[in-house]
């Protein structure tokens, strides 16, 4: 398996623009997570899905952020409009509910820079 795939790997945009980050989880995994990592705040859980349904979005910072999972193999995280403080590395992770070791496997991340 190719692992969790994220695109783009790097994104540079200007304040006010819309940004869309994409994720393809590992085939067969039924949980998908979006995280944000910054030096100041560390790794933060933004939202996660189970079987394509959003379960907890309490980590989404504000209404400018939205996430969708239209099917089991694809998810998007959208920021509209983007702001410089959104600059961070955004990770997508997936896991399967095996009961004990629900290890999350992380994608390589998208480094977002908002100018």
Partner 1 sequence: GQNIDQPTEMTATEGAIVQINCTYQTSGFNGLFWYQQHAGEAPTFLSYNVLDGLEEKGRFSSFLSRSKGYSYLLLKELQMKDSASYLCAVRVYNNNDMRFGAGTRLTVKP
Task: Using alpha carbons, select from 91, 59, 85, 76 the residue that is nearest to residue 20.
Answer: 76
Give least dist CB 9 to partner 1, A: 11
What pairing do the DSSP bridges indicate for beta strands 31-38 and 42-50? antiparallel
Residues that bind partner 1 (CB under 8 A): 31, 33, 35, 42-45, 48, 50, 55-56, 91, 95, 97, 100-109
Bridge partners, residue 77, by sequence: 21, 67
Q: How far is the CB of 66 from partner 1 (least distance, A)?
A: 20
Q: How far is the CB of 79 from partner 1 (least distance, A)?
A: 20
CA distance 42 to 40: 6
Q: Which is nearer to partner 1, 18 or 102 (CB)?
A: 102
């Amino acid at each position: 398996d190719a692992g969790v795939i994220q695109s783009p790997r790097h994104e540079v945009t200007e304040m006010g623009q819309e940004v869309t980050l994409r994720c393809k989880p590992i085939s067969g995994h039924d949980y998908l997570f979006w995280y944000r990592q910054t030096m100041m705040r560390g790794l933060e859980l933004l939202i996660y899905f189970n079987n394509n349904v959003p379960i907890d979005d309490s980590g989404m910072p504000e209404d400018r952020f939205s996430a969708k999972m239209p099917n089991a193999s694809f998810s998007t995280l959208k920021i509209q409009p983007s702001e410089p403080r959104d600059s961070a590395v955004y990770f997508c992770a997936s896991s399967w509910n095996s009961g004990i070791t629900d290890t999350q496997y992380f994608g390589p991340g998208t480094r977002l820079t908002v100018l």
